[in-house]
Amino acid sequence: MQTAREYCHEGRHQPLTPEGNDRARECYAKAIREDGNYLPAYAEGSYVELRAYQNVWTRDREASLDAAERLADQAVALSNDAHSGWLNDFRGRWYRAMVYWNRGDFETSFQEFAAARVLITDPHRIDKDTADLEADMAEAYIYYGDPVQALALIDSAAARDPDHAYWHDWNRARAYYMAKRYDDALTTIRGMSSPPNDVRLIEAASEAQLGHLDDARRILGEFNRIEPGWTLQKSADYRYGDDAARDHWLDGLSKAGLQ
Parse the chain into domains and list their residue ranges: 1-103
Determine the pLDDT at residue 92.
Answer: 96
C-beta of residue 114 within 8 angstroms of C-beta of residue 137: no
Distances (CA, A) of 242 to 38, 97, 238, 252: 38, 18, 11, 16
Domain 1-103 in CATH 1.25.40? The answer is: yes
Q: What does pTM read for this prediction?
A: 0.95
> What is the residue type of 49?
E
Instruction: Look at phi and psi of residue 201 and say left if phi exceeds 0, alpha if psi is from -120 to 50, else beta.
Output: alpha
d(CA 183, CA 177): 9
Instruction: Count CB neighbours of 38 within 10 A.
Output: 23
Residues 16-50 have pLDDT tens digits of 899 999 999 999 999 999 999 999 999 999 999 99
What stretches in the chain show pLDDT beneath 70? none
C-beta of residue 50 within 8 angstroms of C-beta of residue 19: no
Per DSSP, the residues of 151-165 read HHHHHHHHHH-TT--
Determine the pLDDT at residue 194.
Answer: 87
